[in-house]
Amino acid sequence: MTNTSWTRQHVLSLADFTVAEYDTVLQTAASFKEVLSRRTKKVPTLQGQVVTNLFFEPSTRTRSSFEIAAKRLSADTLNFTASSSSLTKGETILDTAKTYLALGTDLMVIRHREAGVPQAIATEMDRLGVKVGVLNAGDGQHEHPSQALLDLFTICTLLDRDRPRLELLSGKKIAIVGDILHSRVARSNIWSLTASGAEVHLAASPTLLPHLFADYIKNEIHKNPILNRQLFLHWQIEPALEKADFVMTLRLQKERMTQHLLPSLREYHQLFGIKRDRLQLCQPHVKILHPGPVNRGVEISSDLMDDPNFSLIQEQVTSGVAVRMALLYLMGSGKA
Q: Does 291 bind ligand NCD (CB under 6 A)?
A: yes
Give the nearest distance from C-beta 92 to ligand NCD in angstroms. 23
Q: Does 140 bind ligand NCD (CB under 6 A)?
A: no
Taking CB under 6 A as the criterion, which residues in 301-320 touch ligand NCD? none
Give the nearest distance from C-beta 187 to ligand NCD in angstroms. 10
Give the nearest distance from C-beta 179 to ligand NCD in angstroms. 8
Q: Does 292 bind ligand NCD (CB under 6 A)?
A: yes
Nearer to ligand NCD, 51 or 168 (CB): 51
Contact indicator for 48, 178 with CB cutoff of 8 Å? no
Q: Does 142 bind ligand NCD (CB under 6 A)?
A: no
Taking CB under 6 A as the criterion, which residues in 36-65 touch ligand NCD? 61-62
Closest among 328, 280, 323 to 155, alpha carbons compared: 323
Q: At what angle do helices 19-36 and 313-332 cross, to 10 degrees?
A: 110
Q: Is 318 exposed, middle or buried (0-12, 13-18, 19+ CB in 10 A)?
A: middle
Nearer to ligand NCD, 101 or 109 (CB): 109
Query: DSSP labels for 49-112?
Result: -EEEEEESS--SHHHHHHHHHHHHTT-EEEEEEGGGSGGGGT--HHHHHHHHHHTT-SEEEEEE
Give the nearest distance from C-beta 288 to ligand NCD in angstroms. 15
Cis peptide, bond prior to residue 58, ω within 30 of zero = no
Query: What SS3 string covers 164-192?
Result: CCHHHHCCCEEEEECCCCCCHHHHHHHHH
Give the nearest distance from C-beta 144 to ligand NCD in angstroms. 5
Contact indicator for 151, 248 with CB cutoff of 8 Å? yes
Instruction: Return the residue of 118, 133, 138, 178 that touches ligand NCD, per CB under 6 A.
Output: 138
Closest among 22, 288, 244, 291 to 143, alpha carbons compared: 291
Taking CB under 6 A as the criterion, which residues in 81-100 touch ligand NCD? none
Q: To which H or E segment does residue 232 belong?
A: strand 231-234
Nearer to ligand NCD, 169 or 313 (CB): 313
Instruction: Return the residue of 72, 144, 172, 269 that touches ligand NCD, per CB under 6 A.
Output: 144
Give the nearest distance from C-beta 186 to ligand NCD in angstroms. 9
Give the nearest distance from C-beta 29 to ligand NCD in angstroms. 17
Closest among 163, 26, 184 to 113, alpha carbons compared: 184
Interaction mask 238-257, ligand NCD, x per CB under 6 A? -------------x-x----
Give the nearest distance from C-beta 191 to ligand NCD in angstroms. 15
Q: Does 72 bind ligand NCD (CB under 6 A)?
A: no
Number of residues that bind ligand NCD (CB under 6 A): 11
Taking CB under 6 A as the criterion, which residues in 152-211 touch ligand NCD? 184-185
> How far apart, in whole angstroms, are the C-alpha atoms of residue 183 and residue 94?
25
Helix (H, G, I), strand (E, B) or coil at 208: coil
Chain centroid, CA 90 distance in Å: 31
Binding residues for ligand NCD (CB under 6 A): 61-62, 138, 144, 147, 184-185, 251, 253, 291-292
